[in-house]
Homo-oligomer: A and B are copies of this chain.
Amino acid sequence: MCFFLDMGFGHSKFVLFFVLVGTIFSMYHQFERIIADLNDVKSKSHEVPRMHNNMKALQDTVDEMKKKLSESEVELQQLRFEIDLYKKDMTGLIDFAYGGRIISIGDTETYETEGLGMLGFRICGQGNLEKRILERSVMPGDCWPFKGHEGSAVIELIDEIIVTNVSLEHASKDLLTNDSITSAPHEFSLWGLFDESEKETSSSHHFGQFVYNLSGPEVQTFAVENPSPTPFKTVEFKIHSNSGHPNLTCVYRVRVHGHLSGTR
């Protein structure tokens, strides 16, 4: 600063020059700070694009996890649902055929012979095999086997009910040989009998015709196609075709669902 005093400038010039020089040096001084700051900021912002990419990747990871988590939750609910159904006879519905009895099988011809070779199971026991369609076990062989692919069973339910659904269950395919899988029923129908002796006369009610799908689950539940406001105590379960077996059809379990007249 002492230089300026010797320079012979006038007072105003001195002031001006002093201001300029001061400005310059002050700027220069700030410059250093700015550059330091800028370097600091640069080094920090240098990370921004990398962070941006990292965050993009993280976002993708999170999105993917979110999808998987959501799928897990759905599967978890499905498992919960299935586990609970194990305690609820696999359907969660009252089976009014369980504890009921078979009144008649008409002219359906039950297989009585033991040791059905090539079936992958043996039909045990003799007599009244048809009652098995109301029993719980669906282990291979614990079924009602009859000749051909057409059969019928008149079932007395445990109560007079408004019929809403019918379930057909077959043994697990994994426990049956290829040949015996084809003995599963295919098309079947359910009828309400106004009088148990009538059996599908004009006075019976046709609840509907259904198809058991071999590639579906073991227990398949169907809503009746033609509901009736009349409660029935006796129903007829008719099999019209099987899943391909040339001379045998096996029925494991039939459930009839609904509710007592006046309830629900």
Contact = CB atoms under 8 A, between A and B. Distances in A.
Given A42-B41, A94-B175, A66 B75 contact: no
B20 A24 contact: yes
A128 interface: no
Nearest to A6: B12
Given A23-B24, A158-B141, A260-B120, A73 B68 contact: yes
A27 B3 CA distance: 22
Interface stretch (A43-51, A103-111, A203-211, A235-243): A43-51
Contacts of A65: 62, 65-66, 69
Contact of A79 (B80, B140, B218, B260): B80
Interface in A29-86: 30-31, 34-35, 37-38, 40-42, 44-49, 51-52, 54-55, 58-59, 61-62, 65-66, 68-69, 72-73, 75-76, 79-80, 82-83, 86
A229 interface: no
A255 to B, nearest CB: 10
Contacts of A62: 58, 61-62, 65
Interface in A141-189: 141, 158-159, 172, 174-179
A100 interface: yes
A127 interface: no
Number of copies: 3
A172 B87 contact: yes
Contacts of A6: 12
Interface residues on A, range: 35 or more
A247 to B, nearest CB: 17
A201 to B, nearest CB: 25
A17 to B, nearest CB: 9
Given A48-B47, A140-B99, A260 B118 contact: yes
Given A55-B51, A80-B75, A122 B140 contact: no
Given A52-B47, A98-B141, A30 B27 contact: no
Nearest to A217: B87
Nearest to A100: B122
Contact of A69 (B3, B12, B42, B68): B68
